[in-house]
Structure 1
Amino acid sequence: METIQGISEFKSSKPTIITIGTFDGVHIGHNKILERLINNAKQSDLNSAVLTFFPHPRMVLQKDADIKLLNTLEEKKQILEHIGLDYLIVHPFTTSFSRLSALEFVRDILVNQLKVKKVIIGYDHRFGRNRNANINDLISYGNTFDFEVEQIPVQEIDEVSVSSTKIRKALLAGDIESANAYLGYEYMLTGAIKKGKGLGKQIGFPTANLDIDETYKLIPDNGVYIVKSFMDHKTVYGMMNIGFNPTVSGKEKSIEIHFFDLNEDLYYKKVQVFLLKKIRDEHKFESIEYLSAQLEKDKITSLDFISQL
């Protein structure tokens, strides 16, 4: 898969079959659409392409600073890399871009720039300035500019919508196993390891403090989770706490991971953790000793779960 940063950078002599959307989470609902896209491309000898936008349109048009996404842009690229797509086109979404008329979008971008021969899109897709054009307009443009439009059935679009809603609700409730089932893969958090206060090391549970740059990334419910990561071509398991460390009167939310059987300096390294299961809520314990005793229990619970994978 080739990632193209900006529509103007797309160069291909072969026509494309394309779908358009934010594809946040790239979950099992999306996969049906993407499989259809890729199979169509192979049958018709076309390049398969996903046109997506960043920042998310709502961040630009609604100034919605509180919007939380399931994937960072880099995570989205990582997931799409493995499905057989030819091109991921990431176009900067700006106010000026949003003002393109429907005709300008179709003629100048889809037809002239992306050489589209087929668009696979939802029945409820809207586009152009103020989103005033719909699927019927797109079909009409297809007749004018000689490309086909295939509508994704209502049921499949509803499945995508329902899946996204269910994933968010599950993550915010700490129900990682349900979220992972809807996603079709383990929910991930990606960031750099920063220095913490060192309390974990003092009580026998050294932690790596994960710093996520992307403020729009959805962070699951506070609590303790079983996680895994991949380091030096091997799987490393651990347990992770999301929360405020109330036992030591923590003031800021943190994400701290204690990796089992890992004796490595991770400071400032980029780490990606995959969440497997939540084992308990975050609690304020009477003392550091009580906290340490609970962490021992958490480790036993985690290792028992891991042994059954």
Structure 2
Amino acid sequence: METVQSISKYDEQHSTAVTIGTFDGVHIGHRTILERLIAEARNLGIKSTVLTFFPHPRMVLQKDSDIKLLNTIEEKSRILDELGLDYLVVHPFTKEFSRLTATEFVRDILVNKLKTKKIIIGYDHRFGRNRTANIVDLKAFGNALDFEVEEIPAQEVDAVSVSSTKIRKALEIGDMVTANKFLGYAYMLTGVVRKGRGLGRQLNFPTANLQIEASYKLIPKNGVYVVSSVIEGKTIFGMMNIGHNPTVSNIGNDTMEGQQRIEVHFFDFDKDLYGFHIQIDILERIRDEHKFDSIEALKKQLEKDRNTSLAIISK
């Protein structure tokens, strides 16, 4: 799959079958639509293409800086690539772009740039300046400009919406079973391993301190989780704490006091990962984060957490 940053950089020689949307999470509801798109493109001998936008339109038009997304662009690209999509076109969403009329959007972008021959889109899709055009208008454009519109019925669109809502709500309460069920894969966190205070190593539980660079990424509820990661081609299991380390927050030179931390302890693995860019797959939640009366009590709990994690992994 080729990821194209901006419609202007798209190679215009290919005709396409297109769907449009954020596809946040690329969950099981989305996959029904995407698999249909990919199959139809192959049947027609053209390229399957997802047109998406970043930043999220709400971040630009509503200045909704608090919006949290299930995927970073990198994560979304990786998932779509595995599905067999040909092109992911990520167009910068700006106020200027939002002012394009329906005619300009269809003619200049869908037809002239993407060379669209078929669009698969939801019954409730709206587009153009102030979102005034709808599916009826799109079909009329198709008749005039020689492309077909396949309408996704209400029940399928509503199922996608329900799935997205359930995933977000599940992650907010740490319900990984529900979240992963609707995603169709383990929820992931992707970031760079940064140097921490070294307290984990002092407790015989060395940790990789994961820094999430995308501020809009939804982080699950604080607590302890069973996780896995592929490092140098090998799957490594471990446990992860999301939270503020209340038991040891006042120990050492803490430049992150009061901030949320994401720390992963890998089992049977002691490689220096500083500076590595890694993906953590979250498999299951073990418990809430607690403040313990002593360092010794914390160490005993970490031992219990490791045994619990290993028991889950062994299943």
Q: What is the TM-score with the length of structure 1 in the denominator?
A: 0.98
2:105 matched to which residue of 1? 105
Superposition pairs of residues 274-289 of structure 1, within 5 angstroms: 274-289=281-296
2:266 matched to which residue of 1? 259
2:314 matched to which residue of 1? 307
* Per-residue deviation, 1:70: 0.1
Number of equivalent positions: 308
1:224 is aligned with what amino acid? Answer: V
* Per-residue deviation, 1:146: 1.2
2:157 matched to which residue of 1? 157
1:199 matched to which residue of 2? 199
1:268 matched to which residue of 2? 275
CA RMSD in angstroms comes to 0.8
2:303 matched to which residue of 1? 296
CA distance in 1, matches of 2:259, 2:114: 46
**Secondary structure in 2 matching 1:245:** coil
* Per-residue deviation, 1:42: 1.4
- Cα deviations across residues 113-154 of structure 1 (Å, max 9, x unaligned)? 111111100011000011111111111111111111110010
1:21 is aligned with what amino acid? Answer: G
1:21 matched to which residue of 2? 21
CA distance in 2, matches of 1:46, 1:257: 43
Fraction of identical pairs, as percent: 66
CA distance in 1, matches of 2:14, 2:74: 27
**Secondary structure in 2 matching 1:81:** helix
* Per-residue deviation, 1:5: 1.3
* Per-residue deviation, 1:14: 3.2
- Cα deviations across residues 78-123 of structure 1 (Å, max 9, x unaligned)? 1001111111111111110000000000011111111111110001
CA distance in 2, matches of 1:83, 1:200: 38
1:91 matched to which residue of 2? 91
* Contact 2:191 2:211 (C-alpha < 8 Å) held by counterparts: yes
* Per-residue deviation, 1:197: 1.3
1:167 is aligned with what amino acid? Answer: I
1:119 is aligned with what amino acid? Answer: I
CA distance in 2, matches of 1:84, 1:246: 44
**Secondary structure in 2 matching 1:82:** helix
Q: Does 1:47 align with 2:47?
A: yes
* Per-residue deviation, 1:39: 1.0
**Secondary structure in 1 matching 2:247:** helix
* Contact 2:191 2:277 (C-alpha < 8 Å) held by counterparts: yes
Superposition pairs of residues 8-87 of structure 1, within 5 angstroms: 8-87=8-87
CA distance in 2, matches of 1:88, 1:245: 39
2:253 matched to which residue of 1? none
* Per-residue deviation, 1:214: 0.4
CA distance in 2, matches of 1:218, 1:186: 14
**Secondary structure in 1 matching 2:286:** strand
* Per-residue deviation, 1:12: 3.7
2:314 is aligned with what amino acid? Answer: S
**Secondary structure in 1 matching 2:82:** coil
CA distance in 2, matches of 1:95, 1:154: 29
**Secondary structure in 2 matching 1:51:** strand
CA distance in 2, matches of 1:102, 1:272: 39
2:216 matched to which residue of 1? 216
Q: What is the TM-score with the length of structure 2 in the denominator?
A: 0.96
1:5 matched to which residue of 2? 5
Q: Does 1:131 align with 2:138?
A: no
- Cα deviations across residues 20-43 of structure 1 (Å, max 9, x unaligned)? 000100000000000110111111
1:295 is aligned with what amino acid? Answer: L
* Per-residue deviation, 1:177: 1.5
Structure 1 runs (4+) greater than 6 angstroms displaced? none
1:232 matched to which residue of 2? 232
Structure 2 alignment gaps of length 5 or more: 250-256
2:281 is aligned with what amino acid? Answer: F
CA distance in 2, matches of 1:3, 1:232: 24
CA distance in 2, matches of 1:226, 1:216: 23
